[in-house]
Chains A and B, each alone.
Chain A
Amino acid sequence: NAGVTQTPKFQVLKTGQSMTLQCAQDMNHEYMSWYRQDPGMGLRLIHYSVGAGITDQGEVPNGYNVSRSTTEDFPLRLLSAAPSQTSVYFCASSPDPDRAGTGELFFGEGSRLTVL
Chain B
Amino acid sequence: SQQGEEDPQALSIQEGENATMNCSYKTSINNLQWYRQNSGRGLVHLILIRSNEREKHSGRLRVTLDTSKKSSSLLITASRAADTASYFCAPYTGGFKTIFGAGTRLFVKA
Q: A residues within 8 Å of B by Cβ?
A: 4, 31, 33, 35, 40-45, 48, 50, 56, 58-59, 88, 90, 92, 97, 102-110
Contacts and interface: CB of A to CB of B under 8 A. Distances in A.
A33 B43 CA distance: 13
B31 interface: yes
Contacts of B100: 35, 42-44
Contacts of A35: 100
Interface stretch (B16-24, B61-69, B72-80, B90-98): B90-98
B contact patch SS: loop
Contacts of A40: 102
Nearest to A88: B40
A33 B99 CA distance: 11
A90 B43 CA distance: 9
A110 B42 CA distance: 6
B49 to A, nearest CB: 11
Q: How large, as a class, is the contact surface on chain B?
A: 20 to 34
Contacts of B31: 102-103
B102 A41 contact: yes
Interface string B30-64: 11010100001111110010000000000000000
A110 B97 contact: no
A33 B97 CA distance: 9
Nearest to B33: A104
Nearest to A57: B97
